[in-house]
Structure 1
C-alpha cells in the first residue's frame, strides 16, 4: 500500500494553521478589508460592528462557486455575520475554480493558510466556532478541506457541493449538507446523498437538508446553516 504521508501535508490538503493563538497586531475596524495576501483576487474579510468583546471571536470561511468571486456569495451571508457577530472570511480562487477541483491541493490551500494566519494575527479566533462553508465547487472545497482539517474547522456547511476529495480524516467537525432535489448540474443522487451516507457511516454528526429547487443558494437554507453554526442570540 502506498504511504500517503510521503506526499507531504500540503499535497494531502492539510493546513498547518491552528486557531487560538493570541493576536500580535491591532484588530481591524468594522468594515470590509483586503488581507494583502495577493495582488489579484485577494481574500476579503468582513468585520461586523458587534463582535464579542474581550473573548474569542467566531469565524466563518465562505468559498465561492466555479467562475465566482467573494462578491457572488457575500450577499447570502453578510447579514448573518452582522446579526450574529462573527468574522466572515471570503477567499478567492486563483483560477476560475479551486485548485482541488482542477488537479489537487496547491496555491489556493497556500493562500487559505496565509489568510487564516493574517486574520489570526489580528483577532483571537474561537476554535469552537470556526466554520468552513461553500457553494457548488466551493461546497466541494469546504467539505474536502473541512473533513481533512477537522481539527481546525469545527463546523462544515455545504450548499449544493459536488464531490469530496479526502486523503486524511482529522478531528470530528459537525457537518451540514444541503442540496436541491432538482439540481440540474450536480444531481443529488450522485453527490449529497452518497456523501451523507459515507460520512454518517464514518461516525460524523451530519445534518442533511434536501430542498425543492435547482442548483442555487437558497436563503432559507443558509439561515438554517447559520443556526447550525452559531445560533442567534435573542435580545
Structure 2
C-alpha cells in the first residue's frame, strides 16, 4: 500500500505576510540618549532614533513612526518629537526602502525586514515596556496594516489620516487611534476613515476616532490627543 498523503500545512508566516519576529529582551546597553541616526548594512539611512534622558532601568514606550509617500524619517519623527521627553517615549522613525512602504509598492517584504532589524537593534540597547506603531498618510495605512498583523507585539496603533488597512493575517487585538481632516483632498475622509473605522469596530478592535476641521495634515492638538491616548494603554502583562 502506498503511504497516505501528508496533511496540508500552511506556510510559516514570515516577512511576506508582514510578520515581525523581534521581541523585547533585557538590553545589554549602555545606550545613548538624544537624536541618533541609524544606518543599514549598506551604509544607507535605516532610521532616526530619539531617546529621552535619562536612559535608566525605567522602560520606555517605543513608538515607531512611519512617514508618508515620498517622505523622510525626520518628518515622521517630528509627529511626536515635541512630546517625547514629557512622556518618556522612545521614538524610532524608519526610512522606507522605496518612495513608499513595501505593501503599497509591491507587497510586504523589504520594509518588514528593515523594521524587524531596527526593532532588534533597539531591543538590544534600550529597556522597552511596549511597542506602538504610528504614521501619517501612507505611513498610517502601513502602521495599521503592520500593527493588526503583529498585535502579539504591538499594543497600539496611531493612524493620522490613513487610507486603508490591509493585513494578510492578524494576531492579537491592538488598540487603535485614528484622526482625519474633514477637508482632506488627498485621502478623502468619506472613502477612507469613515469606512475604515466602522470596519475595525465590526472586527472587534477598540478604536478612538477624531475628525478635525482641516486637510491632509496633523494639527498640534491631534498630536497631543494621540499621546494622551497612548498614556491610557494598559500596562503590558509580564
TM-score normalised over the length of structure 1: 0.90
Structure 1 CA distance, aligned partners of 2:217 and 2:127? 33
Which residue is 2:178 aligned to? Answer: 177
2:148–2:170: 8 Å Cα contact kept in structure 1?
yes
Q: What is residue 76 of structure 2 aligned with on the other side?
A: 73
Aligned residue number for residue 18 of structure 1: 23
Shift of 1:7: 7.1
Q: C-alpha displacement at 1:84, in angstroms?
A: 1.0
Equivalent position to 1:59, from 62, 84, 100? 62
- Within 5 Å, give how 1:1-235 maps onto structure 2: 5-6=10-11, 8-19=13-24, 21-24=25-28, 26-38=29-41, 39-50=43-54, 53-127=56-130, 130-230=131-231
Q: Which residue of 1 aligns with 2:4?
A: none
* Rounded Cα–Cα distance in structure 1 between residues aligned with 2:34 and 2:10: 41
Structure whose CA Rg is larger: 2
User: Alpha-carbon deviation of 1:34?
Assistant: 2.3
Shift of the alpha carbon at 1:73?
2.6
Q: How many equivalent residue pairs?
A: 224
Root mean square deviation, CA, Å = 1.7
CA distance in 1 between partners of 2:117 and 2:176 (Å): 25
Asked if 2 retains the 8 angstrom alpha-carbon contact of 1:35 and 1:118, the reply is no
Question: Which whole-Å deviations, capped at 9, do the CAs of 1:1-22 have from their partners, x for residues lacking one?
Answer: xx99437421111111122x11
Structure 1 position 190, deviation (Å): 1.2
Cα drift, residue 102 of structure 1: 0.6
In 2, Cα distance between equivalents of 1:58 and 1:150:
15
